[in-house]
Structure 1
Amino acid sequence: MFSGKAIFRSSAAATAILMAASCASVDQELLEAKLPDAPAVWTADADVTVAPTGDWVAAFHDNALRGLIDEALERNNNYLATAANLDQAREGARISRANLLPTLGASARSSRNAIVTDPTSAAQAGGNADASGLRAQEIEDRFGLDSDGDGRLDGLDTDNDGFIDADLPNRRLYINNFSLGAQIQWELDVWGRLTDETRASYKDAAAAYADLEAARLSLAARVAQAWFSLIEARQQRELAERDTQARERNLRVTERRYDRGVSSSLDVRLSRSALGSSQANLALRQRLELESSRALEVLLGRYPSAELEAAATLPSLPQLAGAGAPGEILARRPDLAAAEARMESAGLRARAARKQMLPQLTLSSQISTSGPNLADVLDPERLAGNIAAGLFQPLFQGGRLLANSKRARAAAQASLYSYVQTVLTAYQEAENAIAAETLLAAREEALRLAYEEAAAAEDLTERRYSSGAATIFNLLDAQTRRISSESAYIQAQQQRVSNRVQLYLAIGGDFLTEEKLASLQAETGE
């Protein structure tokens, strides 16, 4: 058996160990061990270390795009849901903070009970055979049946001398009771457990706010990319239309040559085959344009009716000003800020879970009063109250508290690993986008040259075919080569513009909405 002193010493030692173990919400050594050091410059391009400032949407010189982004921020359902999650997190933080304050409750109650009495039976129990012969005053004194005070029993027949001539009826008595009460309860935050839980809730709210900023930036990027994809789809559809028209001209020319005996039936069949392929490609491009339009309309919160018309050409990109140093994205990217806030929240909850095994001190007070009349309830002399303080020390709960502490600790470590992985992914996205900036520009230039040369070769071949110096094979090959190179060139333009959007998203670039622009103009007085 263990003595009381031994148990007390063990409990005190455990308390000291727990307090020492709850000094930090996250192991800094573990974080530094898992998070790699960021280089001073980007490995993909060391010349883009200057952080971009201002409005990245303005770099595309597209007013329609800005209007689409503002519309999406007002009507996109996923973004509005993220905003609602922020409100939910903020209210949750306020609820958690309320645990630090005392709680006050009040109660009020009223009741009315009916008691049925039989005066005749009572009179007989007092020695009378029946109620006859009893004076009304005696019945009144015993049973209080003269409610109106006229000296006559209510509802009873009496003779001239005041004696009762008949049996007494049953009497219904009413008893009223009113009560008021108030209770106050307050758990003192001796070890800081409630403070840790409150701070964790506010960290969750901070993460929700960062989620909203990340959703805002992500939605703007998705709208921009969807807009540019729609423009590309329109250009590809127009290219397919021109190709189909060219194939139709070829077929007419070939059929006239066949009628004159200059061309063979093989030339006619090859021309028809080429026209069929172009028509199939046109149907595909039309479908892709409709789907691109519907995808953008859904982002805008519109019905996907494919009525949104794209611009004629993709924007020309200016020279990239810079992307900042790699370490700067930790502060600029809102998704990293959200992951960091959640990591800190998990650490605080792990610390609070350890403190659950410490004693809890609670103060409580109760005041109550009651009486048969409402005025009695308000009588200060009837007030009765008490104040009590309780110290609760968990001793044995089947390992629940220890398991809960270990679970919270594991959740904090998982959140830390998730944060580190998010940082690495952010570095990867930025490095890929910066490297692609140069490579896609080189690819676009090469495809532009290929397209221009293919177009010139097509014109030359058409002239030679008309004069009989080139075969139908030469013409179809030249036209196919030109269509393929022009289509690839359009696609390369779209990929480069889309990558520029992805780059701004990867480095946490900002942009100006109409609301921000109005606020900025108000601050500068413009």
Structure 2
Amino acid sequence: MSLVNVETPKQWQGSNAKDNGPILNDWFLAFNDNTLNALIQNALSNNYDFKANQFAMQLAQQQVVISGASLLPELSLNATQSRKKSVTETGTKISNSADISAKLSYEVDLWGKLSDEQRRANLALASAKHKLKHQELNLVATVARTWFDLVSANQLLALYQQRANNQTRNLDIIQSSYRLGLNQALDVYLTQNNVNSEKARVIDQQHQVQKLQRQLELLIGEYPKGVLSAPNRLPLITKDIALSEPSQLLTQRFDIASSWYDLLASDASLAIAHKKRFPSFTLTASTGDSADKLSNLLDGNALAWSLLGNITAPIFNSGRLEAAENQAELTLRQKEQRYLEQVYQAFADVENAIGNRQALKQRYQHFLQAKENAEAAEKLAFDQYMKGLVSYTSVLESQRRAFDAQTQLIQLTNQLLQNRINLYVSLGGSNTPLFSTNQTQYEVKS
């Protein structure tokens, strides 16, 4: 069969030539976050799902041993002892019998069927190893994403608490002015409404923070107590990840490499299904001895032996073997299409991440300016309101704009971090283990 051929572009559409270069192996270390590093290492050591995936890879290793054993002779030893009572006309008779035998069997690999089975097992093992590396990368990325979601949630909580405190102070000022007859009761009610809304927002955000804490604790294999501490300030990373050439994606993506080995294993399965329709030849040699007592076995008497050659050829099976071969071929064709779909989806993931990176950077700059302008407008509107120059509606509108700009800026900072992680995963990450699970674990503060 002819394996699939994938044509790749010379350069990513959304990147410049200067973006191409080796991918950083220690991408998560660029965040300069020791707690994140500790969480990643603890997750690789303690995450239950990742441990289960490691056992899946070990199962594939044992299958290689099983398939390799079929290429070698098989020797078995059997020893039995029996005691029999028989009744005759003259009385009863008790007889003893002891037997020992050894059997050596070997299937001659005439057509290479057994070699193909071993090849399939080795390819399945290679697929399992690359799949485990992809799962390791995904686990690290999931921990990093959840960590920055938690930090972002903490930063939003701090913003909501600050706004609640500001609204409470504004309420005190407006109530004092109202008692002096300087403003209307409506302004007091509107401010009270804002205070209650902000306090409700704080309670809801506290719940969101605790949910993310539990999610992270589960990822590192701990009981989800919801007490994992995190800062309330997101890092701002300005340096982009260097992009490899598109042609390197097929070798850098562990999941694509796993699918490729899986495809080759299916090719071996097709060869096996085809060769099962050919005759098989087995050599069998056996030897043994019999005596009335177990202690008399192998006492120097000549051993009985036999040598047998056996040829088995399928003649009529109602098309079962032919259908099995057709199934193997159809499975192979199906996996070819799945592989191509996965490859081009991987290209799309990288292109989308690159385009999203540029859009997020531009939006961040615009909202950074909007935040500065909105905060200045909020302060000016409240000062003018206290002087009786504008209505309280203008104050509310300026507060809403300032709040929206601050919230958007926090969310965009998190989205830039998430995009960086997604782009790294889409590119396939490093070709070296992220952490050794034998290393001493970092301490994660709760």
Normalising by structure 2, what TM-score? Answer: 0.94
The reply to whether residue 219 of structure 1 matches residue 219 of structure 2 is: no
Q: What is the CA RMSD across the aligned residues, in angstroms?
A: 1.9
Q: Residue 343 of structure 1 contacts residue 415 of structure 1 at CA under 8 Å; is this kept in 2?
A: yes
* Counterpart for residue 273 of structure 1: 193
Looking at structure 1, the residues matched to 238 and 167 of structure 2 have their Cα atoms a distance apart, in angstroms, of 37
Q: 1:276, CA displacement in angstroms?
A: 2.4
| Corresponding residue to 2:274 among 354, 360, 368 | 354
Which amino acid letter does the alignment assign opposite residue 111 of structure 1? Answer: S
Identity of aligned residues (%): 29
Report the more deviating stretch, 71-80 or 371-380.
371-380
Residue 53 of structure 2 corresponds to residue 82 of structure 1? yes
Determine which of 43, 48, 51 is the counterpart of 1:72: 43
Local SS of the residue matching 1:219: helix
**Residue in structure 2 matched with residue 210 of structure 1 by the alignment:** 130
Structure 2: give runs of 5+ residues left out of the alignment: 441-446
What is the rounded CA distance, in whole Å, between the counterparts of 1:113 and 1:70 in structure 2? 66
Match for residue 59 of structure 1 among 30, 36, 45? 30
Classify 1:517/1:61 alpha carbon distance in 2 versus 1 (closer, same or farther; 3 Å).
farther
2:209 maps to 1:289: yes
The question of 1:495 aligning with 2:408 is answered: no
CA distance in 1, matches of 2:435, 2:73: 45
Among 5, 11, 15, the alignment partner of 1:45 is: 15
1:394 counterpart residue number: 314
Distance 2:363 2:146 in 1: 22
Letter in 2 for 1:334: F
Question: Are 1:515 and 2:433 counterparts?
Answer: no
Letter in 2 for 1:515: S
Partner of 1:126: none
The residue aligned with 1:27 is 2
1:106 equivalenced with 2:77 (yes/no): yes
Q: Matched residues in 2 for 1:517 and 1:323: separation?
A: 31
> Which gives a bigger RCO, structure 1 or 2 (Cα 8 Å, sep 6+)?
2
Determine if contact 1:41/1:326 at 8 Å carries over to the other structure: yes
Equivalent position of 2:102 in the other structure: 182
CA distance in 1, matches of 2:259, 2:269: 15
Q: Which residue of 2 aligns with 1:465?
A: 385
| Counterpart in the other structure of 1:20 | none
Contact 1:97 1:198 in 2 (8 A): yes
Q: What runs of 5+ residues in structure 1 fail to find an aligned partner?
A: 1-25, 123-169, 520-526
1:199 CA displacement:
0.6
Structure 2 counterpart of 1:128: none
How high is the TM-score relative to the length of structure 1?
Answer: 0.80
What SS is found at the alignment partner of 2:16? coil
Q: Give 1:94 shift.
A: 1.1
- Separation in 1, partners of 2:438, 2:9: 35
Following the alignment from structure 1 to structure 2, what is the Cα–Cα distance between the partners of residues 329 and 76? 28
2 CA distance for matches of 1:412 and 1:480?
Answer: 59
CA offsets 1:408-461 (integer angstroms, 9 cap, x no match): 111111111111111111111111111222221111111111111111111112
- Provide closer, same or farther for how the CA distance between residues 456 and 190 of structure 1 changes in structure 2, counting only shifts above 3 A: same
Distance 2:271 2:86 in 1: 60
Number of aligned residue pairs:
438
Residue 460 of structure 1 aligns to a residue whose secondary structure is helix
What secondary structure, in the 3-state scheme, does the structure 2 residue paired with 1:91 have?
helix
8 Å CA contact 1:66–1:513 kept in 2: the answer is no
Residue type of the alignment partner of 1:46: N
**Equivalent residues of 1:333, 1:507 under 8 A apart:** yes
How far has the Cα of 1:499 moved from its partner? Answer: 0.6
1:384 aligns with 2:354: no
Q: Deviations over 1:92-133 (max 9, x none)?
A: 111111111121111100112245678xxx5xxxxxxxxxxx
CA distance in 2 between counterparts of 1:73 and 1:221 reads 11
In structure 1, how many angstroms separate the alpha carbons of the residues matched to 2:88 and 2:278? 59
The residue that corresponds to 2:228 in the other structure is 308
Q: Give the counterpart of 2:256 among 336, 343, 366.
A: 336
Q: Deviations over 1:45-99 (max 9, x none)?
A: 1332212233111111111111110000011111111101000011011111111
Q: Residues 129-144 of structure 1 correspond to what in structure 2 (within 5 A)?
A: none
